[in-house]
Amino acid sequence: MIDWKAVVLAAQRSSAAYIEDAAKAQAAFEALGDKFIGMTSGVDYQAALTQDAAGATHLTISGTRAAQGDLVDVFDDADLIPAHLRVGTVTVGVNSGQVKLWNWVLKTADPKAVINVAGHSLGGARAQLALAYLPASRLGQIVSLAAPKYIQADFFKTYADELWRLTCVLNGADGWASWPWRNLLWDDRPPVDHVWLKDDNGGYVMIAGDKWPGGLVFADHDLSKYTSRLERIAQTQ
């Protein structure tokens, strides 16, 4: 059973996570009702830790900050060299900076806190990597929005018993979530049913990740479109 309100909040937090100015980011998260714990960023990653009104902890990972001129994020999107981790194969680009990010998370968050993770685009793929960086006892729900195909099936096989935590959302014919295009090496998605947002009236279907047809409609990657369509679904539940 999907908690649609929680998924909507994950999308709204994902928008706030793109903001690079810490004070403005804090204001955006607080407008959502969260307490701002802190923010971290490097040349190729950015994320914020917050706590909601119920006391739950959330890590929200920024997607590609291309609009802000952070070209290293763009290079990470394009870096499809395989990184053969002990737990499975991912792109070098998606894993870039993640050791530093998770070291910060573990130092900053309450050591007893269960951490929910979310992100859009590159951040959505990195949210899936939380399976490798956080012990199962500390990991809550994962919401992955518009994630490209940066993780191979062997990684998800390693964490098969933990995939129940994962809610994956894809919109329309999202061209960037379809990236890389027609690439047999990078053609895997998490083996869970994905939410496929179909229209602005709350239409959606649940579809296996490998059955989503994808497409080349790049406007469908816009996080505001994901958020508005999810909000419409939440209003009808």
Note whether residue 149 is domain-resident.
yes
How many domains does the chain fold into?
1
**% of the chain with per-residue pLDDT over 90:** 90
Q: How far is CA 158 from CA 84, 97, 118, in A?
A: 13, 22, 20
Confidence of residue 130 (pLDDT cuts 50, 70, 90): very high
Note whether residue 231 is domain-resident: no
| pLDDT for 72 beyond 60 | no
* pLDDT (average), residues 191-212: 96
pLDDT of 47 reads: 98
Asked whether residue 220 is domain-assigned, the answer is: no
Summarised one tens digit per residue, pLDDT across range 151-201 is: 999 999 999 999 999 999 999 999 999 999 989 899 999 999 999 999 999
Split at pLDDT 50, 70, 90, the class of 65 is confident
Decide if 140 is inside a domain: yes
Give kind and range of the element (H or E) at residue 206: strand 204-208
pLDDT at 73: 58
Q: Is residue 188 part of a domain?
A: no
With cut-offs at 50, 70 and 90, classify the pLDDT of residue 76: low
As to burial, measured by CB atoms within 10 angstroms (0-12 exposed, 13-18 middle, 19+ buried), residue 169 is buried
In which domain, by residue range, is 139 found? 4-167
CB atoms within 10 A of CB 117: 30
- List the CATH number of the domain containing 144: 3.40.50.1820
Token pair listed for 89: 């194969």
Mean pLDDT confidence for 208-226: 97
State residue 235's pLDDT score. Answer: 94
Q: Does 200 reside within a domain?
A: no
Per-residue pLDDT tens digits for 3-14: 999 999 999 999
Answer yes or no: is 235 within a domain.
no
Mean pLDDT of all residues in the chain?
A: 94
User: Residue 225 domain-assigned?
Assistant: no
Q: If you average pLDDT over residues 118-139, what whole number do you get?
A: 97
DSSP string, 145-185: ES--S-B-HHHHHHTGGGGGGEEEEEETTBTTTTPSTT-SS
Please check the confidence at residue 74 and state whether its pLDDT lies above 70: no
